Structure 1
Amino acid sequence: MNGDIRAGVIDVHAHWLPRDLLPLPPGNPLGGMNDRDGELFLGDVPLSFPTTAMTDVDTIVADTLKAGLGARVISAPPFAFPVHAPAEADDYVAAYNEQLADAVSRTDGTLIGLGLVRLDDAGAARRELTRLAAADGIAGIAVPPVVDGRSYDRGVPRQILGIAAELGLSVLVHPMQLPRPEWDHHYLVNLVGNPVESTTAVAGVLLGGVLEELPGLRICFVHGGGCAPALLGRWGHGWRTREDVRRGSGRPPAESFGLLYFDTVTHDPEALTLLRAHASPDRIVCGSDYPFDMAQPDPVGFPSAHGIDAAALEANGRRFLGLTPANDS
């Protein structure tokens, strides 16, 4: 990443979208985002936070400092991923990335950006990723876990991970709340759907041998990796006993699991403890999910109270972003 950031804990998981891009990319079925008397809505659904918390850089900077953070990494909300009509989304993607670079450049290292990219066309993705790699204050991209029923073990999504690794860009994988009829109540599309999406992508990366092919890839899964820490033993058993499970990878999934990054948004100390039991201690990074209602309200205090100190969170965040340690800057 070009440029540097403020010292202190880095929240790698927060969201920003400029007002002119609230209508969302072409083909989006959700009705666009809109402001109603200062509150942000997704279609007709209230999102329960002020519009400025998503759109106004000064508000985000103030909230970052209020949370005791040194810096915050901002990316588009998952509704803005260009997946519904990707061939028509080039202008939206370019506009977001241009405005993101401008926004973070005005914050004296308090905000870092993760851009958008098409996931259906490796050539288009390479062009945009190359521009992002040259932009000050941009560390990488944010992407959904599943694209057209596929994850990152095959097809164009896997190629994009290769391009990101080649260019030294970080990748943050954030779920999209994909609808399923059994999740149409109790907010299960988020409470169950989001962790399941992330778990699918973690499994694809591990069992598909992605990190064996791309050992330098910096890829982070939010919400503590979803259900993956609890399923790692099951995946390992399957890898040892079934040829179809181990066909794509040459080492057991637990071995590659230690190369993945995960954020701390688990909402449960026991879930964080389980994540720590399986993940590498230098790959657990601070997250918040700001400004959504499912956010961790104390992104520094929660992990610090459960065994991950601020110095480790800062060092791990810098490592994920491809930055030198703070004392070497």
Structure 2
Amino acid sequence: MHIDIHSHVIPPRIVDAIAADPKGFAARIEGHGASRRMVHDQGYAYPLFDEFVDPAAKLAVMDRKGLDMSIVSTAPPMFYYWAEAELAAKAARLVNDGIAEMVASAPQRLRGMASVPMQHPELAIAELERAVSTHGFKAVEIGTTIEGVQLADPRFQPFLRRARDLDVLVFIHPYYVGSKAGLESYYLTNLAGNPADTAVSIANLIFSGALDELAGLKILAAHGGGYAPYQIGRLVHGHAVRDEARSLTASSPKDLLKQLYFDTLLFDPQALRFLIDLVGPDHVCLGTDAPFDMGDETPLASLAAVPGLTSREEAAIVAGTATALLG
């Protein structure tokens, strides 16, 4: 099988709710048919491609790409991390129930990831438990930061601990609504900002001792882990020479990094070769980031272009790792 572990949807349930109450959800739906788009009050706008909302369209694209199964997660603007408790919990329920409906239309080919209101940790735990018990989800997608607060912050430890205890995969994905300071030009908020956010999130999880405390937690980092795998030597050196970097953990940053999992979204065969060699093929999963334009339209060809790729490595990356993570 070929399994895509990084594929996005925006369930019709949440789209309809936003259309009915644009003020309450701080977003609106503009246009009709193929020209529909989601516009957030914070300034972020994007097309509502059919693949976001229609399982049949998702399956058609999967067929074109040679994919047998997709593990679908919501588009990050649907996290609603800025919202007060009532709206945040409502948005997460709409997303999760909507994803469950989409998955139920093609249960042999689609699986769902939960979304939770991370800014309210107790509500996040409750919604994760509901998504697992009600919908059978085995993964949850969360931001690399929560409105600027790092995942390594102690307030999120109870949630991460509960995810570990439930044997749920935690998929960390960069999150923003609108541009970031200094990255307004050239689409750099996404091009450079997203991988930077992931790298900083991973570094904080490493140096804070959170990964030591949460041994056994399964974390999947989007976009090949951002910059973290390719600057791991710098983290190792810093841990050796700086008191600040080793004040909370004696563990090697490289050893901790190798406990994480990564998708293949690097767009360069040499970079992906380095990642596979660093963490092993059993810690790498196929990912497309569909249907965003920063996704990989030819994921199998991208993997085939990796120098010296063995059949064992390919088998792990296209299905074996994801199967082991999700059962």
TM-score by length of 1: 0.88
User: Which range is displaced more, 99-108 or 192-201?
Assistant: 99-108
In structure 2, how many angstroms separate the alpha carbons of the residues matched to 1:122 and 1:287?
Answer: 28
In structure 1, how many angstroms separate the alpha carbons of the residues matched to 2:126 and 2:321?
Answer: 29
In structure 1, how many angstroms separate the alpha carbons of the residues matched to 2:60 and 2:105?
Answer: 13
Residue of structure 1 equivalent to 2:320: 315
Q: CA deviation at 1:264?
A: 0.3
Residue of structure 2 equivalent to 1:121: 120
Asked whether the 8 Å contact 1:40–1:46 carries over to 2, the reply is no
Q: Secondary structure at the match of 2:274?
A: helix
In structure 2, how many angstroms separate the alpha carbons of the residues matched to 1:68 and 1:210?
Answer: 38
Residue of structure 2 equivalent to 1:275: 275
In structure 2, how many angstroms separate the alpha carbons of the residues matched to 1:219 and 1:158?
Answer: 13
In structure 1, how many angstroms separate the alpha carbons of the residues matched to 2:67 and 2:246?
Answer: 41
Q: CA deviation at 1:118?
A: 1.1
The alignment's C-alpha RMSD in Å is 2.2
In structure 1, how many angstroms separate the alpha carbons of the residues matched to 2:257 and 2:29?
Answer: 36
Q: CA deviation at 1:112?
A: 0.8
In structure 2, how many angstroms separate the alpha carbons of the residues matched to 1:285 and 1:222?
Answer: 10
Q: Secondary structure at the match of 2:150?
A: coil
Q: Secondary structure at the match of 1:138?
A: coil
Of 54, 59, 72, 1:61 maps to: 59
User: Which range is displaced more, 102-111 or 37-46?
Assistant: 37-46
In structure 2, runs of 5+ residues without a counterpart are: none
Residue of structure 2 equivalent to 1:301: 301
Of 6, 12, 29, 2:5 maps to: 12
Letter of the 1:288 partner, please give it: T
In structure 1, how many angstroms separate the alpha carbons of the residues matched to 2:108 and 2:136?
Answer: 8
Letter of the 2:282 partner, please give it: D
1:210-234 CA distance string (max 9 Å, x none) = 2322222111011111111121111
In structure 1, how many angstroms separate the alpha carbons of the residues matched to 2:83 and 2:155?
Answer: 16
1:36-94 CA distance string (max 9 Å, x none) = 4313424287746x621110011112222221112101111011112111413111111
Q: Secondary structure at the match of 2:189?
A: helix
Shift of the 233–86 alpha-carbon distance from structure 1 to 2, 3 Å rule, reads: farther
Q: Equivalent residues in 2 for 1:145-160 (5 A)? A: 145-160=144-159
In structure 1, how many angstroms separate the alpha carbons of the residues matched to 2:171 and 2:12?
Answer: 23
Shift of the 32–190 alpha-carbon distance from structure 1 to 2, 3 Å rule, reads: farther
Q: CA deviation at 1:188?
A: 0.6
Q: CA deviation at 1:184?
A: 1.0
Residue of structure 2 equivalent to 1:246: 246
Structure with more helix by fraction:
2
Shift of the 47–124 alpha-carbon distance from structure 1 to 2, 3 Å rule, reads: closer
Residue of structure 1 equivalent to 2:197: 197
1:128-175 CA distance string (max 9 Å, x none) = 111122244522211110113221212333332111111111111111
Residue of structure 2 equivalent to 1:5: none
In structure 2, how many angstroms separate the alpha carbons of the residues matched to 1:46 and 1:101?
Answer: 25
Q: Equivalent residues in 2 for 1:40-55 (5 A)? A: 40-43=36-39, 47=46, 51-55=49-53
Q: CA deviation at 1:209?
A: 2.3
User: 2:101 matched to 1:140?
Assistant: no
Asked whether the 8 Å contact 1:71–1:109 carries over to 2, the reply is yes
Shift of the 64–124 alpha-carbon distance from structure 1 to 2, 3 Å rule, reads: same
Q: Secondary structure at the match of 1:142?
A: strand
In structure 1, how many angstroms separate the alpha carbons of the residues matched to 2:59 and 2:190?
Answer: 27
Alignment length (residue pairs): 313
User: 2:14 matched to 1:21?
Assistant: yes
In structure 2, how many angstroms separate the alpha carbons of the residues matched to 1:319 and 1:33?
Answer: 39
User: Which range is displaced more, 174-183 or 160-169?
Assistant: 174-183
In structure 1, runs of 5+ residues without a counterpart are: 1-7, 324-329
Residue of structure 2 equivalent to 1:76: 74
Letter of the 1:39 partner, please give it: S
Asked whether the 8 Å contact 1:114–1:138 carries over to 2, the reply is yes
Asked whether the 8 Å contact 2:80–2:117 carries over to 1, the reply is yes
**Structure 1 vs Structure 2: percent identity of aligned residues?**
27
Q: Secondary structure at the match of 2:299?
A: coil
Asked whether the 8 Å contact 1:67–1:299 carries over to 2, the reply is yes
In structure 2, how many angstroms separate the alpha carbons of the residues matched to 1:287 and 1:68?
Answer: 13
In structure 2, how many angstroms separate the alpha carbons of the residues matched to 1:127 and 1:273?
Answer: 39
Shift of the 150–253 alpha-carbon distance from structure 1 to 2, 3 Å rule, reads: same
Letter of the 1:319 partner, please give it: A
Q: Equivalent residues in 2 for 1:166-205 (5 A)? A: 166-177=165-176, 179-205=179-205
In structure 2, how many angstroms separate the alpha carbons of the residues matched to 1:315 and 1:274?
Answer: 19
1:231-265 CA distance string (max 9 Å, x none) = 11111111111121112222110001111000000
Asked whether the 8 Å contact 2:132–2:138 carries over to 1, the reply is yes
Q: Secondary structure at the match of 2:298?
A: coil
